[in-house]
Structure 1
Amino acid sequence: MSGEGKAVCVTGASGYVASWLVKLLLDRGYTVHATVRSLCDPSKTEHLLALDGAKERLSLYEANLSVQGSFDAAVNGCLCVFHTASPVLALVNDPQAQLIDPAVKGTLNVLKSAAKVRSLKKVVLTSSMAAVVFGSTIPEHGDVIDETWFSDPDICEQRKMWYSLSKTLAEDAAVNFAKDNGLDLVVINPGYVIGPILQPTLNLTSDGILSMLKDGKDMFPGGMYLLVDVRDVAKAHILAFENPGANGRYCMVGKAAPHMEIMKIVDKLYPSLGHSERRKDGECVEPLPYYVSRAKAESLGVKFTPLEVSIKDTVESLKEKNLLSF
């Protein structure tokens, strides 16, 4: 399907996933209304304005998640709103102010603007696997996690998992608002996003991968990395809009992998990084504790990028930006 003559809005357009979403939308011929927090910050705008097709079909708008009506101008005349804007912070002093309010109230502010637009056909919300896997049932060996799994806000709060709480509450608020206001809402739930970077500054997940590449550090000791390529996530958003049968939520995890498996791939591709010296040799024989179903995402038309390709492209992107040298 060609996007020629069709206008769509992307919120938080300078972010990691959103930058790729803007790029792929422009590549498909769409006219894109992109919101950023500040039009005066070149780190938020320059890489977007440099994209192919941007000069002809990209308009930037300044918008603030905390201000009701802030997104009215950007969504006006659009067929779809891709709402990606939401804070991603590892350390917070005030979870309510720093994460929860911007995620929940910000989502509702965007949806309130969207509900005013008669031309609007659909809203695609960027949620997270953080809103899927932290429920009252802990995944066990052999479990298959799918779109029917939901994180429990009480459990997230008890464990002080503030990002998970913010994404869970924001998704809940969006689903309820859409139902009450007749909006067609589709939700994308990505795992840990890796792959090449378009924006000039490091996002949280890319920074984590950079640390792992530099010193072999395991960010989730003993845990699983629910990995997905940023380009696959961006494509899934577009497919969710273009496919009239798209509905509900879509788990986006290309591969669940333990730290050891990731480091073996890195060592195979880039032996000069020296990770074989830093870790014990031996095969990763532990069975995966659980899997994440790709069935619904693949039914949408998503073709997942192999993990080895995603890791290679991540490393090459970090090298290109002079963030990693070896």
Structure 2
Amino acid sequence: MKVVCVTGASGFIASWLVKLLLARGYTVHATVRSLDDPKKTGHLQALDGAKERLSLFKADLIEEGSFDCAFNGCVCVFHTASPVMFTVDDPHAQLIDPAVKGTLNVLKSAAKVPTLKRVVLTSSMSAVMFGVDIPQSSVVDETWFSNPLVCEQKKMWYFVSKTLAEEAAVKYSKENGLDLVAINPGFVIGPILQPTLNLTSEGFMNFVKTGKEVFRDGIYRLVDVRDVANAHILAFENPEAKGRYLMVGNMVRSSVIMKIIEKLSPSLGFSQKYKETNCPDSVPFSISRARAESLGVEFTPLEVTIKDTVESLIY
């Protein structure tokens, strides 16, 4: 049985990744910041196969060598751990250092493991398409990169952290002979496994309950959490996988989401909201799914994702 490690295993994407890995017969090492917090570990230990094939390890992103024990004997490291926040007092201490230095600490530990075949990095669309001009009708693909200087000027600190972390990971991996593949998800929704709300789920729940937009332009780059987790596994299992893979199943305006929610859950009262909206259904550009689909990803239909999300968060 192959042994793999998932960093930040209590998170939204990571919890699903652990679940799917166990379902596929992997032995999983999972790192968390605290082994004493049942909110971080209980849902993982309750997964099918966890009793036999899941081991929990304490690890801290900013502590070099912290991941050595967890990575020992692994053939793949799935590095999902990174802080997610959009309002910060100290962007370097709260976001940039844990993201960049934390990623480098993970890679330094990975480089010590002779059995390791690949590192799969959870990056973000935040590292792809921000701080740059996107012409009308463009198709954004894996060749696009965010401009961290522009993002910094605009105080878009999360976008800075994800961009710099991916850049640092690619540079270190090339210099040290690590096989690195990056997964770049958009706005991740879907049913949650962890007992506490993550940031994207909380934002989407507020939108569903109140109609308050998550994004000012009303455009959502949505992807199902189960598709993102599956993409990570495919990125390891496919020996031809390389570079980065954008994971956006659907790029839609809020009016489209409102119509779907009204169809699925009329009791939430979205009918009047989407009738009153002046926002068109069309979007000004698109995001390529070609490389993700070449990896074997089959994107979950949007209505299924929204239905499962609403049922998980609201009911």
TM-score normalised by L of structure 1: 0.95
Instruction: Report if the CA contact (8 A) 2:139-2:288 is conserved.
Output: yes
Gaps spanning 5+ residues in structure 1: where?
Answer: 319-323
Structure 1 letter corresponding to 2:303: E
2:84 to 88, 102, 107: 88
2:249 to 240, 246, 254: 254
- Could you tell me how far 1:281 is from its partner in structure 2? 4.4
Of 199, 205, 212, which residue of structure 1 is paired with 2:200?
205
Residue 174 of structure 2 is aligned to residue 179 of structure 1: yes
CA distance in 2, matches of 1:227, 1:83: 21
CA contact (8 A) 1:9 1:78 kept: yes
Structure 1 stretches (4+) deviating beyond 6 angstroms?
Answer: none
From 21, 26, 37, the equivalent of 2:22 is 26
Q: Is 1:194 matched with 2:193?
A: no
In structure 2, C-alpha distance between the alignment counterparts of 1:131 and 1:66, rounded to whole Å: 21
Q: CA deviation at 1:160?
A: 0.6
Task: Indicate if the aligned counterparts of 2:256 and 2:281 stay in contact, CA closer than 8 A.
Answer: no
- Measure how far apart 1:315 and its partner are: 0.9
Supply the AA of the counterpart residue of 1:83: H
**Alpha-carbon offset, residue 282 of structure 1:** 7.1
User: Following TM superposition, by how much is the alpha carbon of 1:280 offset from its aligned partner in structure 2, in angstroms?
Assistant: 3.2
Coordinate RMSD, CA, aligned: 1.2
* Range with bigger deviation, 139-148 or 182-191: 139-148
Give 2:7's aligned residue. Answer: 11
Q: Which among 212, 236, 244 is matched to residue 241 of structure 1?
A: 236
Q: Which residue of 2 aligns with 1:157?
A: 152
| Structure 1 SS opposite 2:51 | helix
SS of residue paired to 1:140: coil
Is 212-221 or 145-154 further displaced after alignment?
Answer: 212-221
Q: Would you say 1:300 and 2:295 are equivalent positions?
A: yes
Three-state SS of the structure 1 residue aligned to 2:275 is coil
Contact 2:255 2:277 in 1 (8 A): no
2:224 matched to which residue of 1? 229
Distance 1:71 1:285 in 2: 48
CA drift of 1:219 comes to 1.5
Contact kept, 8 Å, 2:255 with 2:281, in 1: the verdict is no
- Give the secondary-structure state (helix, strand or coil) at the position aligned to 1:19: helix
Name the aligned partner's letter for residue 141 of structure 2.
D
Give the one of 213, 222, 237 matched to 1:218. Answer: 213
* 3-state SS, counterpart of residue 280 of structure 1: helix
SS where residue 120 of structure 2 aligns?
strand
Q: Distance in 1 between matches of 2:59 and 2:280?
A: 49
Q: Which of the residues 88, 99, 122 maps onto 1:126?
A: 122
Corresponding residue of 1:145? 140
1:56 aligns with 2:52: yes
**Counterpart among 263, 267, 271 of residue 272 in structure 1:** 267
2:107 counterpart SS class: helix
- For 2:288, give the aligned amino acid: S
Aligned to 1:113: 109
Report how many aligned residue pairs link the two structures: 315
Q: Does the residue aligned with 2:235 lie in a helix, a strand or coil?
A: helix
Q: State the match for 2:98 in structure 1.
A: 102
> What residue identity is the alignment partner of 2:202?
D
Q: Is the 8 A contact 1:141 1:288 kept in 2?
A: no
